[in-house]
């Protein structure tokens, strides 16, 4: 069952279109990666879905509430981790949480706050001012704040950006834990590896939605790894042989290098090498190349342009 | 729920207010500075300027109106009548205290949260806009009103120390009490509301203060109007004035809620 549904959701700021015609659905209990470079419209989308800013077009329903109508009810069932932690530096960790807890229908605030401070490993520092915390601790405190009313949907805006690897991995573990508890997580990130690690499905956005699929099928479509076979000398016949193999999707020759895309990189590689050797090719090295996120974007953007052009002709 | 949320806001804001030396000093010392300064001016005027002032037609009109409202003052020597006239201005001078505290605190309250990003997180909670605004307003208005009352006591103490205690009966008019207990809270709320509106619209706290400064002028004007005898604020007129400001308060809260569009304050756009 979809817990987030958007239809034609758009937002413009004066002459800048930040989000254009976003139509998608997120299933309950899913961790959705919202992947895009800086300025792609991730924060704007999250702000709209969290009822903080209004869309200029389209609509969305989150956990049964229209984002532009039932804002108060919506806010009871969502949690949001903003791009900057936005804590009160002069208040203690505990007071920060107590203050926010005071806006939700939570019966026993201090027990709840204790539970989440412990969960985030901040209990020992509960009475220290949030301003004295490290970046990672601030982020965990902000995460506690977003979680402590036990929302159905959690919006996380680049939760690991600016954190050192260790702090980032702690935050990721916490996100996994949220998912185990059945929370739907809408995770914005510009980190492809992170999205792959945590998410059931990934939406790639660049103002418009470019793709939405599981990491696996996106990889098959866009992030497919290429095998690079370095030959001792250029040999035109070999390219033809490689192209004829059933598991090869695409092959190109650049001098003495062959760049080959396989259906299944791991499994097909030995067979590819054997076929080349049998055809008389002298293999120097075999290596693997991955598309970077930028290449993926370029590719997606190009497809977009092509389909636009087709639509207009 | 609303009450709980507003109490929650007050508790947090006061926690922050009194751990910030600047704001704490503003709330505690400024009222005494205002009262002390005006008493000093009036003392100087009384000692050195009363003859000149008595001769001027401006003050003559004001004195006539004073004697109409407070006939007992007619028995006093002319220079003391003038002193009563001046001391009667304190009902309005005291209004400067809630205004200045309001501008000082409210103007920062929202801009600060906007700059640190806590406002965005706050607006993702179920808090209603008007609850947030009212909470922020009361944060400043309550201490401002209390400090105004304390300052009124301080004023009475100082005039008795100066040997003018016999005049206090002529200063503590019904209008004075109306002003203190009705007008002061109404003005406090109004100036905080404007401070909050200002700070929700402004990009930084300076801009917010400028917007809020607008309330100071009418109050100075009020003093000017009365001391020059254009209008004398009788009990009835003070009551009407207070009711008008209460009405403006209600309009201001509605305007604030309207102006305080969530997105214009949530997003810090550089
Ligand atoms: N408040 C705003 N006013 C004007 N333009 C904005 C505002 N917020 C975002 N934008 C613009 O919208 C686009 C998307 O921004 P944003 O949603 O912050 O992207 P992301 O979070 O993916 O980096 C950018 O071009 C940005 O300049
Ligand atoms: Mg962003």
Please give the pLDDT value at position B100.
82
Q: How many Cβ atoms from other residues are within 10 Å of residue B159's Cβ? A: 21
User: What are the chain A neighbours of B267 within 8 Å (beta carbons)?
Assistant: 47, 53
A269 touches A286 (CB < 8 A) = yes
Q: Is A53 left (phi over 0), alpha (psi -120 to 50) or beta?
A: beta
Tell me how close the Cα of A91 comes to any Cα of chain B, in angstroms: 7
Higher pLDDT, B154 or B18: B154
Tokens 């059933």 — which residue? A246
Interchain contact, A91 vs B12, CB within 8 Å: yes
Region A21-40: what's the mean pLDDT? 94
Q: Is the dihedral of CA A13, A14, A16, A21 positive or negative?
A: positive
Please give the pLDDT value at position B215.
67
User: Distance between CA B141 and CA B54 in Å, rounded?
Assistant: 39
Region A38-65: what's the mean pLDDT? 94
> B221-261: per-residue pLDDT in tens?
877 787 777 777 888 888 998 899 899 988 888 887 777 66
Helix (H, G, I), strand (E, B) or coil at A15: coil
Residue B218 has pLDDT above 70, yes or no: yes
**Nearest partner of A187 among A63, A306, A49, A21, judged by Cα:** A49
Interchain contact, A91 vs B120, CB within 8 Å: no
Please give the pLDDT value at position B267.
60
What token pair was written down for A175? Answer: 């996100």
**Nearest partner of A196 among A235, A167, A225, judged by Cα:** A225
B104 touches B26 (CB < 8 A) = yes
> A190-202: per-residue pLDDT in tens?
888 888 889 999 9
* Partner residues linked to A66 by β-bridges: A61
* Nearest atom of ligand 1 to the alpha carbon of A36: 22
Interchain contact, B126 vs A103, CB within 8 Å: yes
Q: Does B15 touch chain A (CB under 8 A)?
A: yes
Please give the pLDDT value at position B270.
40
Please give the pLDDT value at position A294.
61
Helical residues (DSSP H) of chain B, grouped into ranges? 2-17, 21-48, 50-55, 57-69, 78-88, 90-93, 96-116, 118-123, 129-161, 168-171, 174-178, 184-201, 205-212, 216-227, 235-259, 262-266
Which residue is closest in CA terms to ligand 1's atom 17? A41
> B12-50: per-residue pLDDT in tens?
998 888 888 888 888 888 899 989 998 898 888 888 877
Q: Is A189 in the pocket of ligand 1 (CB under 6 A)?
A: no
For residue A81, the ligand closest to its alpha carbon is 2
Please give the pLDDT value at position A145.
96
Q: Does the global pTM surpass 0.90? A: no
Higher pLDDT, B150 or B170: B150
Higher pLDDT, B168 or A158: A158
What token pair was written down for A298? Answer: 């370029």
> A98-129: per-residue pLDDT in tens?
999 999 999 999 999 999 999 999 999 999 99
User: Distance between CA B245 and CA B109 in Å, rounded?
Assistant: 23
Higher pLDDT, B269 or A101: A101
Residue A18 has pLDDT above 90, yes or no: yes
Please give the pLDDT value at position A63.
95
Please give the pLDDT value at position A297.
63
Please give the pLDDT value at position A312.
64
CA A206 to ligand 1 center in whole angstroms = 11
B28 touches B97 (CB < 8 A) = no
Q: Which residue of B has its CA nearest to A87?
A: B118
Higher pLDDT, A62 or B51: A62
Mean pLDDT of chain A: 89
Region B113-138: what's the mean pLDDT? 88
Which residue is closest in CA terms to ligand 1's atom 4? A13
Region A266-292: what's the mean pLDDT? 85
Residue B265 has pLDDT above 70, yes or no: no
Question: Could you tell me the domains of chain A?
Answer: 2-220 (3.40.50.300), 224-289 (3.30.70.100)
Q: Best residue in A13, A41, A50, A82 to probe B by mutation, most B CBs within 10 Å?
A: A82
User: Looking at chain A, which runs of residues are DSSP E strands?
Assistant: 2-13, 16-27, 31-35, 57-62, 65-66, 78-81, 153-157, 184-189, 201-206, 208-214, 226-231, 248-254, 257-262, 283-289
Query: Which of A2-6, B137-141, B153-157, B194-198 shows the lowest per-residue confidence on average (mean pLDDT)?
Result: B194-198
A45 touches A19 (CB < 8 A) = yes
Mean pLDDT of chain B: 83
> B69-117: per-residue pLDDT in tens?
888 888 888 888 888 888 888 888 888 888 888 777 776 777 788 888 8
> A150-174: per-residue pLDDT in tens?
999 999 999 998 899 999 999 999 9
> B183-203: per-residue pLDDT in tens?
899 988 888 777 777 776 677
Helix (H, G, I), strand (E, B) or coil at A233: coil
What is the DSSP code (8-state) at residue B217?
H
A103 touches B127 (CB < 8 A) = yes
Please give the pLDDT value at position B133.
82
Interchain contact, A53 vs B120, CB within 8 Å: no
Residue B173 has pLDDT above 50, yes or no: yes
Q: Is A18 in the pocket of ligand 1 (CB under 6 A)?
A: yes
What is the pLDDT confidence band of residue A218, given thresholds at 50, 70 and 90?
confident
């Amino acid at each position: 069952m979809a817990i987030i549904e958007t239809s034609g959701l758009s937002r413009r700021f004066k002459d800048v279109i930040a989000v254009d015609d976003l139509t998608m659905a997120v299933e309950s209990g899913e961790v959705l990666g919202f992947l895009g470079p800086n300025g792609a419209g991730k924060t704007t989308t999250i702000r709209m879905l969290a009822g903080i800013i209004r869309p200029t077009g389209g609509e969305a329903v989150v956990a049964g509430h229209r984002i532009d109508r039932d804002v108060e009810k919506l806010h009871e069932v969502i949690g949001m981790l903003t791009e900057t932690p936005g804590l009160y530096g002069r208040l203690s960790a505990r007071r920060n949480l107590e203050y926010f807890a005071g806006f939700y229908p939570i019966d026993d605030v201090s027990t709840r706050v204790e539970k989440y401070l412990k969960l985030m490993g901040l209990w020992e520092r509960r009475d220290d001012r949030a301003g004295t915390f490290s970046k990672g601790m601030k982020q965990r405190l902000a995460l506690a704040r977003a979680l402590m009313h036990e929302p159905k949907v959690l919006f996380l805006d680049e939760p690991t950006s600016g954190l050192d690897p260790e702090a980032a991995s702690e935050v990721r573990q916490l996100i996994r834990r949220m998912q185990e508890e059945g929370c739907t997580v809408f995770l914005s990130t510009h980190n492809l590896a992170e999205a792959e690690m945590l998410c059931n499905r990934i939406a790639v956005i660049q103002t418009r939605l470019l793709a939405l699929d599981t990491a696996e099928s996106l990889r098959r479509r866009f992030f497919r790894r290429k095998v690079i076979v370095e030959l001792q000398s250029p040999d035109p016949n070999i390219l033809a042989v490689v192209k004829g193999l059933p598991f090869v999707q695409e092959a190109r020759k650049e001098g003495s290098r062959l760049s080959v895309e396989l259906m299944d990189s791991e499994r097909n590689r030995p067979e590819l090498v054997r076929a080349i050797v049998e055809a008389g090719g002298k293999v120097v090295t075999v290596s693997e190349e991955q598309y970077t996120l930028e290449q993926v974007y370029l590719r997606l953007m190009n497809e977009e342009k092509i389909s636009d052009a087709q639509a207009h002709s | 729920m609303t009450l709980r949320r507003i109490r929650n806001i007050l508790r947090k804001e006061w926690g922050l207010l009194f751990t910030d030396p600047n704001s704490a000093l503003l709330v505690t010392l400024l009222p005494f500075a205002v009262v002390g300064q005006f008493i000093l001016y009036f003392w100087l005027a009384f000692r050195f300027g009363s003859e000149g002032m008595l001769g001027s037609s401006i003050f003559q009109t004001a004195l006539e109106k004073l004697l109409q409202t407070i006939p007992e003052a007619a028995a006093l020597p002319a220079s003391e009548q003038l002193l009563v006239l001046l001391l009667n201005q304190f009902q309005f001078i005291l209004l400067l205290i809630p205004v200045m505290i309001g501008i000082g605190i409210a103007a920062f309250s929202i801009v600060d949260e906007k700059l640190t990003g806590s406002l965005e997180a706050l607006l993702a909670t179920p808090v209603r806009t008007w609850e947030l605004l009212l909470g922020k307003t009361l944060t400043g208005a309550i201490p401002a009103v209390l400090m105004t009352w304390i300052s009124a006591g301080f004023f009475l103490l100082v005039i008795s120390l100066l040997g003018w205690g016999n005049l206090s009966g002529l200063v503590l008019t019904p209008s004075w009490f109306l002003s203190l207990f009705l007008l002061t809270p109404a003005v406090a709320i109004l100036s905080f509301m404007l401070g909050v509106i200002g700070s929700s619209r402004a990009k930084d706290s300076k801009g917010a203060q400028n917007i809020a400064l607008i309330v100071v002028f009418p109050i100075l004007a009020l003093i000017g109007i009365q001391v020059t005898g254009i209008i004398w604020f009788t009990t009835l007129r003070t009551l009407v004035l207070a009711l008008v400001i209460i009405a403006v308060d209600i309009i201001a809260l509605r305007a604030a809620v309207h102006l305080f569009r969530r997105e214009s304050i949530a997003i810090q756009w550089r």
